[in-house]
Amino acid sequence: MARLAVVLLTFALVVVFALLASTVAGALARLDGATYPAALMRAATTFAAVLTLAAALTGALARFIS
């Protein structure tokens, strides 16, 4: 049960970090003069990139943890 809690909390932390990074990327794009759709696409790309990086790190580290 404790391992499930750690996994869920880690997943929630990664999602919150991805949301924070995408919000910052969208705001910076908007400050740079991008249109709202372009800023939204930049934010979505950043969100997907953070989740992809987290999945790649999890896959790489899974060999050493188990």
Question: Domains in the chain: how many in total?
Answer: 1
**What is residue 1's predicted lDDT score, i.e. its pLDDT?**
82
- Provide the residue range defining the domain that includes 18: 2-59
* Six token digits for residue 17: 């970090």
**Residue 26: helix, strand or coil by DSSP?**
helix
21 found inside a domain = yes
Q: Residues 12-57: pLDDT tens digits?
A: 999 999 999 999 999 999 999 999 999 999 999 999 999 999 999 9
pLDDT of residue 65: 82
* Residue 29 is assigned to a structural domain of this protein: yes
Which residues fall within 8 angstroms of residue 47, CB to CB, at 6 or more apart?
Answer: 18, 19, 21, 22
Sign of the alpha-carbon dihedral angle for 11, 17, 20, 25: negative
User: Does 64 fall in a domain?
Assistant: no
Is pTM, for the whole model, over 0.85? Answer: yes
| Start-to-end CA span in the chain (Å) | 17
Helix (H/G/I), strand (E/B), else coil: 35: coil
